[in-house]
Each structure stands twice: as structure tokens, then as C-alpha cells.
A and B are shown apart, each in its own frame.
Chain A
Amino acid sequence: MPNNEVVMKIENLDKFFPMKKSVFSRAKHFLHAVDKINFEIKRGKVLSLVGESGCGKTTTGKTLLKLYEPTGGKINFLGRDVTHLMNADDKKWFHSKTQMIFQDPFESLNPRKTIFDIVSEPMNIQNFETLKKRELMVMEILKRVGISPPDAFLWRYPHELSGGQRQRVAIARALVMKPEFVVADEPTSMLDVSIRTQVMKLMMELIREMNMSFLYITHDLAVARYMADEISVMYLGRMVEYANSEELINNPLHPYTKALISAVPVPDPEFKRKSVEIKGGIGKPIDPLPRCRFYDRCPFAMEICSQKEPELIEVGENHKVACFLYEQR
């Protein structure tokens, strides 16, 4: 298999939500949760999506996995156009090769099922191996995510677990069948450093061993740096910067990315970090004006930024940014 095979590719992906006052009224306004996003993820690679809360990361992930119908654009998976999956066989094929780790482990685990049922479900759907074998695999994966000893947890229900334990059960479930492509939405947000590291190492091992590909959504740049080959930064539905991980962290270009990196807290009570320089502001993704979406908060805003929207342009090797500061006139 060629190593630079593209596993997931999206072109001009849009997802708009209608905003209506009541169920009966026609929507006049649209919330642009995902607005003309492009990227591709190769086999064995991890792309991390970072950005402000509410900027459209989860919506991108869910649309990619067809949990939402896209408003526009194309989704291509393993060379096949999956934008509109029609028949049951195609859907089954797609869902057997992809998995999502949902952002909220309190919402995503079925409260009436035991941990064993939850984790073994992907195997049951595909009628995989014998029950005995499934049990062993469940124990094995639980152990690897630090749920130990696994047999103390198998017959518990999700509400009998701590937040971080639930999060790890969700990870175990998504990875147990070693899918080809995973959208991991803030999968380790509730884990302490030690267990988080263990889980990240597990994911990296699987990525290497099985050549899995990941879209890794996180707001934690240190995590993105460790996990991802490339990082893409979103702001109010748009992709504003894209680069190799180290490049993005060491040489951020977009004013939002710069602010994001300077705001990372430092684990030292005596260190006084300077406060974030960008203006506070509340993003409005509903019927956005045709201008830079960061305009209101940008310390470098120019006239042109209020007149049209910057395109994502290549400014260095595999480094793209959507900002007029870097456009040559």
C-alpha cells in the first residue's frame, strides 16, 4: 500500500445550521458552523484541529463521519466519494472503517449498558470472533487505557465511573476494532497528565502499528504538538492557519494563533504570564459578514480586513495562513 495514500479528503466542506424562532417558522438566518474547509489526511497521519470554543471543530468532525449531512462541499474517503451515502451497504462499509470518540463522555455512553457491552458493541455489530475472544479483547484494551483491573469495571454502568474513566471507556470502544480512520474529539480532556500520556502513547502505537489515521480535535496545543503531524487552526467556521506541528508552534503567523500560543498557562505559581493581548469579543457565526472573522478582535486589523475575507494562502513550505498581513500586494 502506498504510504502517502490519502485516507480522508474534504473539499469546500460547509455545514450551516438554520436558526429559527420556533419549529414552525422558516429559517431566515444561518449559523455557519463550518465554512469552506479543505484538508486531507494521509494514511498513518494525524491532523489536529484546534481553535476557540464554538468555532466548529465538533461539527467538522461529525460532518466528516456523516453524522451530519453536509450543506455543501465534498467528502472523499479511501478514494470514494462519500458525500452522499445512499444505500445500506455503503453506509455499513463506511461506518465499519471509521469511529468517533465523542467530546462528552457523559452523553455518549449508553447509561443502560454495562462497560463490557459498550466496549464490545463494535465487535458485535461486525459479528467478530467468538464471545471468549471478544471478552479477552475488551479486557486487553481496557487495561491499555488504564482501567484496571478491568474485571472490577466490566459489569459497572457508566454512572458508576469517574469522568476520566468514562472518557477512557469511550476511547477503548472506538479503538477496540482498530478502525482505519478515527475522529477523536477532545478525547483526553479530563485525564490527568500521567494517564493522559499513557492513553496518548497507546493511540500513537496503534497509529504506527495499524497505520490508522486520525483527526484529533483538541484545545490543548501541547497535546496537539505531541500527537499530530500537522495542526490546523479554526476560527469561527473558517480555517485560518495550517502547518506542520513544530512549525505552527514555533512560528505561528495568524494573530489568533499567536494569541492562542501565548495564552497557554505555565505550571508555576510564581510565573506571571502576561495577559492575552487580543480584545475580548463574542464571535457571531450567524450570517457572517464578508470580512475577516477575526477583524473585531485583531490587534493588527487594517481597512482591507473589513472589506473582504482573506483566502488561505501558502506562505512557506506546507504552511498556509488566511490573513492580509501576509498577502503580497
Chain B
Amino acid sequence: MKPILELRNLKMYYDTQAGQVKAADDVSFVLNEGESIGLVGESGCGKTSVSMSIMKLLPENGRIISGNIFFDGKDIVNFSDEEMNKIRWAGIAMIFQAAMNSLNPVYRVGDQIVEAITAHEPNVTFEEARQRVANLYKLVGLDPERMDNYPHEYSGGMKQRAIIAMSLACNPKLIIADEPTTALDVIVQDTILRELEKVQKKLNMSMIYISHDIAVIAEVASRIAIMYAGKIVEMSDSVVIFKRPAHPYAIGLMSSFPSIRGEKKELVTIPGEPPNLLNAPDHCRFAPRCPFATDECWKQTPSYSEIESNHFVACFHPQNLKKLVNMNA
């Protein structure tokens, strides 16, 4: 297995008037060629910030403070815009969370994808590119006849699918999909996930799949990283994460989704307030909400260590969970 992407102790902070927002704090992981990992975590925990750091598309007030990002063997942290332009779309493509407004409103949707292709592959003719886009449209369940419509004539989910088509247009080595199916019904989602899987196998493409939907992650990813307040707190094979989550936050996450199967249940939330990333403290960031917290947890940040083969956790009291804990009890 050859790694395609490696993050080493990535720190990405935003400067605001009120202080620093530590959106990514010592984030490390390795992604191999052809592999899919899922990135999950509470809203606002830093998932998009990690992806935007990899794409190096940060807003003015956001900076990579330290750490490395190796893509295809090269550290791209200090790459210039020009160098990054060659990598974006053709090397790393991203399905933006803001898919719906990452299309330019004044151009026809199909033309925008054609443009993405011809910009990276000057030998492709306009007609060939249009044909390729038509095929991509079919792949994501859009009618190629709608290529000539403008973005405002698309529904939310149609725009999202157009962006998925665009991300595949230049056969990238890595796709970062940031909540790519939030606007899609389960049937369309199912079809697209299967098509993505086929393309991925064919091209040996790697994928980072960001979602708040654990059920979707369970279907697409072979490994899962769980983020909390700017840090990865647990990472392992999907089956391990589902069978024996060790971090108390992961446990809460696994036990609190509504279902359409079985009896209608009372929904549970993870008690306590979402963390404040502004001037984040030097202790375990989950401590204020954690039922297992001790003095230790309020004094320092737990290190990220391997508790069993390939199972990493950042917690002073990792749970050995055959039993599932009820966080609301």
C-alpha cells in the first residue's frame, strides 16, 4: 500500500477579533492509494477546515501554523498558488460543502464543467469535453439536456450532483467529498455512492468522505476518523469504530441517531454545550461533557495513542466497550 496523502501534526487557526479559533489542532493521518476514509464529528469541529487546508483554499484570516501535508510524496504546505493550481481538480478534487453556491450563477452549468476539463487537458476538443460531461451527468442521475440550464434553474440536489460530476471530470487521484449528499434523497444517494465506488476502483482513486451521517460513512469508508473540537480523537477500521468505540464522544455519537426501523424512540443528545474553539483550553476538550472525566482530564490534553493494533484514541479513560453506555442516564 502506497500512501497518497499524509497529514502530520497539522495546525490551522483562524484569527478573529475575539481571539484564535483553533480549527485544526495537531491533526495527523495517512490515506493510502485507493482507500476511503470517513471523517465525522460535530458541526463546527473543523472538518471543512482540514479539507480546505489540504486544498490550500483558506480565507484571509486562516493560516496553517505548522505541520506537513504530503500529497503524492511532496509536502505541499509551502506550494505556491501556481503549483497548487496544477494539483487542484486534476490531482485533488473537492466536492465543496457549499456545493450549491460554488457554481457561477452567470454561466450555464454544463459549460462550467467543460471549462474545468479543457483548462487541465488542452488537447481535449470542446465536443469531446461536452460528451464527457454528458456521460458524467448520466452517472450522477442528471438529464444531459439540462446541461444548458443556469444554476438557479437547478434544485438543491441537482446542483450538488453537478458538483460531484465536476469533481470527477479530470480523473483526480484524491477526492475530498465534504457532505456531498446532504441534499439528496436516499435513492439518488445510493446510486451515486455505488457509481463513485466503481469509478474509484477503476481509477484507484482515494477519498476523504466527510459526513455527519454515520450510516453513510459506514457504507463508504473502510476507516473512520472522529474529530472533536479541532482534534482527531479516535481513528480505526470502520468495523472497530462501530463495534467498540473507545472515546466517550464516539460512544455518544454512535448511540444517538433516529431510525426508521423499529419503534419510534425518544432521541438522545450528547449533553452539554458544543465546545468553544475560540481560545481553546489546554485540557481534554471533551472533559466538560464527559461522564468519565477525572482531575487528570482537566489538567492536560491526552495524547493520541494506539490502544490496540490500528486503533488510535486520544483519551485518558478509553472505554472497553462491549457494553454501550447511556450518556443521558
Contact = CB atoms under 8 A, between A and B. Distances in A.
A275 B42 CA distance: 29
Contacts of B238: 269
5 contacts: A52-B188, A106-B100, A263-B186, A264-B260, A282-B141
Nearest to B221: A269
A271 B219 CA distance: 9
Contact of B212 (A104, A146, A192): A192
A165 interface: yes
A263 B181 CA distance: 14
Interface of B: 14, 16-18, 40-44, 47-48, 59, 61, 97-98, 100-101, 138, 141-143, 145, 148, 153-158, 160-161, 179, 182-191, 194, 212-216, 218-219, 238-239, 242, 252-254, 256-261, 264, 267-270, 273-274, 276, 278
A260 interface: yes
A282 B239 contact: no
A325 B66 CA distance: 64
B40, B47, B187 — most chain A CB neighbours (10 Å): B187
Contacts of A267: 214-215, 218, 242, 254, 257
Contacts of A280: 141, 191
A134 interface: no
A249 interface: yes
Given A152-B18, A192-B42, A52 B185 contact: yes
Contacts of A160: 14, 16, 59, 61
A326 interface: no
Interface string A155-168: 11001111111011
Interface in A25-65: 50-54, 57-59
Contacts of A194: 42, 252-253, 256, 269-270
B218 A104 contact: no
B253 A193 contact: yes
Interface stretch (A173-181, A219-227, A314-322): A219-227
A261 B180 CA distance: 21
Interface of A: 17, 21, 50-54, 57-59, 103-104, 106-107, 146, 148-149, 152, 155-156, 159-165, 167-168, 186, 189-198, 200-201, 219, 221-223, 225-226, 246, 249, 259-261, 263-271, 273, 275-276, 278, 280, 282-284, 286
A190 B242 contact: no
A104 B156 contact: yes
Contact of A191 (B40, B59, B212, B215): B212
Contact of B187 (A59, A148, A195, A278): A278
Given A189-B183, A192-B41, A282-B138, 5 more contacts: A104-B156, A219-B183, A267-B214, A271-B218, A278-B187
B215 A265 contact: yes
* A-B interface, 5 closest residue pairs, ranked by CB to CB distance from nearest: A164-B43, A53-B157, A192-B212, A265-B215, A267-B215
A107 B276 CA distance: 25
B138 A265 contact: no
Given A104-B156, A152-B278, A265 B260 contact: no
Given A164-B44, A219-B183, A156 B16 contact: yes
Contacts of B253: 192-194
A52 B187 contact: yes
Nearest to A273: B219
A261 B185 CA distance: 10
Contacts of B40: 192
A240 B156 CA distance: 21
Nearest to B98: A106
Given A152-B276, A192-B40, A195-B274, A50 B185 contact: yes
B188 to A, nearest CB: 5
